[in-house]
A and B are shown apart, each in its own frame.
Chain A
């Protein structure tokens, strides 16, 4: 006789009609494929955990974003925010789509050059730029976004030795009605510091003032904040023209558009609360068009969107290591990935789907990672079907900031795999090995040996 399919015995309290914070029922479907490639096969070939990136989703998301802006404003240029995901192959997909590079360190700058981005299509942001890095950037005619007065003077001093006039912008911070104000980067608009910096740049005669930059925050939920920011940057641009006789060639609105991930503690899923990219595009473009720029002086609109362009394209596949019950009776499930790989678990309530069939029974559980550290919690509470040791799960929307902020802590980083548009898989970054991790370590001779 054929035996019946087994499932862990489970009872679950029914809270009659009461809607809890996580919804009354789960609408989970197993996710057995990513871009038509079976999850099982990916794990069999590349191990678990493993990051998976969908080339198709990257290109589609980028093209949609570009369309949202280009249909509303004639001059638009995206620059890929390297820190969001600087796996070289990922950067190159964006470059193939026409994106320039936006970098915030010498390390990222060299990465962009290494990928073949022409120097004059690299925006160099960030508070730290060494003399050597500035010289390299100027030699390559890159766009240097000045963050503070010390950097402004540093650059002016260096110009004596430089082959050409550096092309610069300043980063401006401002009150857009969003608090806290990100005032630690750049020069403040309201108190006149930004204007002061602009006059110094032009008065020096040694720098070519080219653009104005801002990045007003990340995961912004107000499209109107961007309209405010456009108004303030354009006010500066008009003053540059009228008082400093300098035409601003581009207005860089930075990034900050939200992805469709749900923030931790949010009551409603992001899809219900976040403005669409079209709303942000409308706020920015319509405000820009109302500024009265002459046709031939219309500034280029530069965008450095990060998470909104890549989050959806990234998946983390993992497996259940164990189930246990906590002292207060709650179910805990231990996964083979934790905050070491999923840095964004600190911000987001990631959507997690089982990768195999299950029954309609579900339970609330805490989802832990494998690290022997208390901080290692992937979801504080999540309602999932019964998971058994060895079962696979798919974590959605992990493309932004995880493959850069991941920690080599306790565990090594796993393979990163791309699914191309034909459904072929490619290894983009090999799983780390002990030899790789230790190759930079040195052992003083007197510490080489011991007797135990």
Chain B
């Protein structure tokens, strides 16, 4: 279970703001989608299913990119864990 920091602000257009650090980020549409689902408390499995249903991507590819994306969130200090 990935938990975003509580105070992270994000918009549907992919703008992310971390008030703790003052850093802002831009997300591409897929990343914005994932962030949106994470904020709404969906599980990782649920989110992956949603992404696979919406975007033209193989499960294996998504799996690889998922890990990388989580690493990006951690690197940016946007997650609790």
Which residues of chain A have a CB within 8 Å of any CB of chain B? Answer: 3-14, 16, 323, 325, 329, 359, 361, 386
Contact = CB atoms under 8 A, between A and B. Distances in A.
Contacts of A359: 28
Given A11-B16, A11-B73, A11-B76, A6 B57 contact: yes
B54 interface: yes
Interface in B28-70: 28-31, 34, 53-57, 61, 65-66, 68-69
Nearest to B35: A11
B28 A3 contact: no
Contacts of A6: 30, 55-57, 61
B23 interface: yes
A4 B73 CA distance: 23
Interface of A is mostly: loop
A359 B31 CA distance: 14
B71 A16 contact: no
Contact of A8 (B53, B65, B73): B65
Contact of B26 (A8, A12, A323): A12
Contacts of B30: 6-10
Contacts of B76: 11, 13
B56 A4 contact: yes
Given A4-B54, A5-B56, A12 B71 contact: no
Contacts of A16: 24
A322 B13 CA distance: 29
Nearest to A13: B25
Given A5-B56, A329-B75, 7 more contacts: A6-B56, A6-B57, A6-B61, A11-B26, A359-B28, A361-B28, A386-B28
Given A4-B55, A4-B56, A9 B28 contact: yes
B81 to A, nearest CB: 17
A3 B55 contact: yes
Nearest to B70: A9
6 contacts: A4-B29, A6-B56, A8-B69, A11-B69, A14-B26, A16-B24
Contacts of B65: 8-9
